[in-house]
Amino acid sequence: MECQLRPSQEPTSQPAPAGRRYVVITPARNEARLIEETIKAVVAQAILPQRYVVVSDGSTDGTDEIVQRYAASHPWITLVRTPERAGRSFAGKVHAFNAGYATLGDLAYDVIGNLDADITFDANYFEFLLERFAEDARLGVAGTPFREGNHQYDYRFTNIEHVSGACQMFRRACFEDIGGYKPLKGGGIDWMAVTSARMRGWRTRTFTEQVCHHHRAIGTAQHSELTARFRQGRKDYALGGHPLWQVFRSAYQMKCSPVLAGGACLMAGYTWAWITRTERAAAAELIDFHRREQLARLRSALRPRPRHVAVDSLLEGPRR
């Protein structure tokens, strides 16, 4: 049974202009160590959300108490609690998001965001993304690069059409058009949402003028770096990644930390999924679309370019 603390009113300071009303949902499972900084980042925004829903997905570490403290002084923040369950799962994250989504009811908004519980950003972050939606009526999903510690990916030459799951902002019409997030047990929920949007004619974009900060290495909440790479390779197969693309991508990743081992584990995971005939998580139509995109990017990466262009960085691919 869900427990909810509902806001008594909408935010009264810094109201969103017409066409730029937005809501944000954060699924959180035992995130007491990091979630307060994420909440602070949202509270500090130049344009506040109509509602910020934090879904405590069976947390037992004090996450609820942190959210309740902020909800008491910010009536537009809502805590939704779902029952305790064993272990983390990607499908569980979708169910938690949907629990928050269900509380929005008839609330009027134009953009909906999915924000991880370990992300921070500058005070004009959401304002910047809302401006991008206002400029392009066909922009369906928007986000920015993320930075982990001192490492930042070179998004000048990678696939800027992919939007990281660290913080994905959807035009409401686009989110409803794709039917929201799909509860995939093996992961790839963020990728599927963004790719489905493009398949349905929406534009998706990572805008490099801003950045968000990710405070935990991706995929390492429960797993080591090498295990995370192996699991990523399995996920690449399950989502229909082209084998030729995977070979080139894994070779490129071998020069990234952990050197050699990271790319090898990525390829091993894909190969293991192929050998064991892991069930495909995506529909055939989406897999065909995905592979056409991959081969187009591969042709672009292998095309002769000026020396100053880092061609091989095209092979990084989305990590979320």
Could you tell me if residue 220 is inside a domain? Answer: no
Domain of 249, in residue numbers? 225-315
Is pLDDT of 208 > 60? yes
Whether 189 and 235 map to the same domain: the answer is no
pLDDT in the model for residue 172: 98
**Element of type H or E holding 169:** strand 167-171
Mean of the per-residue pLDDT values of the chain: 88
Whether 177 and 238 map to the same domain: the answer is no
Whether 129 and 93 map to the same domain: the answer is yes
Whether 178 and 237 map to the same domain: the answer is no
* Mean pLDDT within 312-318: 50
179: domain CATH number?
3.90.550.10
Q: Of 154, 181, 214, which one is at a domain's C-terminal end? A: 214
Q: What gap in Å lies between CA 45 and CA 77, rounded to an integer?
A: 13
Torsion over CA: 116, 140, 133, 152 (sign): positive
Whether 135 and 203 map to the same domain: the answer is yes
Whether 260 and 302 map to the same domain: the answer is yes
* Mean pLDDT within 37-58: 97
Beta-carbon neighbour count of residue 306 at 10 Å? 6
Whether 29 and 115 map to the same domain: the answer is yes
| Residue 257 confidence class, pLDDT cut points 50, 70, 90 | confident
Q: 253 to each of 46, 133, 249, how far by Cα in Å?
A: 38, 33, 6
Could you tell me if residue 219 is inside a domain? Answer: no
Q: Is-contact 2 81, C-beta < 8 A?
A: yes
Could you tell me if residue 320 is inside a domain? Answer: no
Of 142, 113, 130, 124, the residue nearest 53 (C-alpha): 113
**DSSP code at position 230:** H
pTM: 0.85
Q: Strand 139-143 and strand 167-171: pairing?
A: antiparallel
Q: Which of 29-33, 47-51, 305-309 has the lowest mean pLDDT?
A: 305-309
Whether 37 and 184 map to the same domain: the answer is yes
Whether 87 and 169 map to the same domain: the answer is yes
pLDDT in the model for residue 108: 96
Whether 123 and 173 map to the same domain: the answer is yes
| Residue 157 confidence class, pLDDT cut points 50, 70, 90 | very low
| Residue 19 confidence class, pLDDT cut points 50, 70, 90 | confident
Whether 187 and 230 map to the same domain: the answer is no
Is pLDDT of 242 > 80? yes
Is pLDDT of 3 > 70? no
Is pLDDT of 41 > 80? yes
| Residue 296 confidence class, pLDDT cut points 50, 70, 90 | very high
Q: The sheet that has 146-148: what strands, in order across it?
A: 119-120, 212-214, 146-148, 151-152
Could you tell me if residue 195 is inside a domain? Answer: yes
| Residue 56 confidence class, pLDDT cut points 50, 70, 90 | very high
